[in-house]
Homo-oligomer: A and B are copies of this chain.
Amino acid sequence: MRILLDVMGGDLPPAELIKGGVRAARKKGIEVILAGDPPTIQAALTDLKEPEGRRCHILPSSSIVTMDDAPVRAVREKKDSSLVLGLTAVHDAEADAFVSPGNTGAIVASSIFTLGRSEGIPRPGILLSLPTVEGEDAYVIDVGANSDCTPDQLMHFALMGATYARDVAGIAKPTLGLLNIGTEKTKGNSLIAKTHEQLDACPLPFAGNVEANSVLSERPVDVVVCDGFVGNVFLKSIEGGVYAVARLLKKTIRGKLVATLGALLMSGSIARVRGTLSYRRRGGAVLLGVKGVVVIAHGRSDAVAIESAMDVASRQVKANLSSRFSEGIAGWSSHA
């Protein structure tokens, strides 16, 4: 298996991302194609004592899609970027998967343009795994690829989410929930009401509405379905809540000897909680609904996060999801 890693578009320097790619190659027995500036990559490989051409290869690129670039324009104008060349390599079957910590909008636009949509899927969606108090991850789709959605698009997110949960996450009989502002069937907006009706009437394993405050603590379903605007607000609000508690606690402790001592004694526990919630171990989000495996790592990904994203990509390559989507909603069965 060959996984392409875009080492140029993240917040951290290429050397850090390359370290993650090399580690994945060594541990997982996969080949890694590093897309980026050749001298930078060669220098990093030398530092890591990793010979070029054995497990690690270079795909030279000469421009970078930045986080601030307008997605569609960047894709059109920066054809020699690691992002566009990397996805082209996947399209040309030179690589089995694409991993990048770069500009999410540009990755989505370029994936659709370069790889094309999966058969039967009108709009690709981004699926993210979330840690929960219960220990097992919950999956959320869409967390940002589509801001305006129709019920049909949500139905396809449901199909893709259930299929991913079954075939990649290994949940034999996954359940689906619709993110809503109440669990009652009558709650929510018109998009949710129409989607609820359609989900009720199809073979997908729909378990009803779920509320945002229960996902992390009660894990009421395996896969949470929502439009990309709401999904993105959901994620960023959780992030904001967690961060605010941490900041407030720090502020309250400051200068207080007893509390500082307490924090010191608790530091192991706090670190474990942070580890559970950390994006570094979560491997990034996956773009489902394009012809190819595309993993969007967090912009601030370090070597650990990249290694984890490579792992997510390799598991998805083995599952061959895209071909399963073509069976459609009507053909869905938990025993596929």
Of chain B, the residue at the smallest CB distance from A252 is B269
Of chain B, the residue at the smallest CB distance from A243 is B217
A320 contacts B by Cβ under 8 Å? no
A241 contacts B by Cβ under 8 Å? yes
Quick one: which of A252-275 are within 8 Å of B by CB?
A: 252-253, 256, 258-259, 261-270, 272-273
- Shortest A206–chain B CB gap in Å is 19
Query: Are B276 and A248 in contact, with the CB atoms below 8 A?
Result: yes
Of chain B, the residue at the smallest CB distance from A130 is B244
Query: Are A269 and B259 in contact, with the CB atoms below 8 A?
Result: yes
Closest 4 CB pairs of A and B: A262-B265, A241-B241, A237-B237, A262-B266
Give 23 CB contacts A-B under 8 Å.
A144-B181, A147-B192, A181-B232, A188-B229, A189-B227, A192-B229, A212-B239, A214-B240, A216-B243, A217-B243, A217-B247, A234-B237, A237-B237, A237-B241, A238-B238, A241-B241, A241-B245, A244-B277, A248-B276, A252-B272, A252-B273, A256-B268, A259-B266
A259→B189 CA distance, assembly (Å): 45
A229→B95 CA distance, assembly (Å): 42
A264→B258 CA distance, assembly (Å): 10
A116→B315 CA distance, assembly (Å): 58
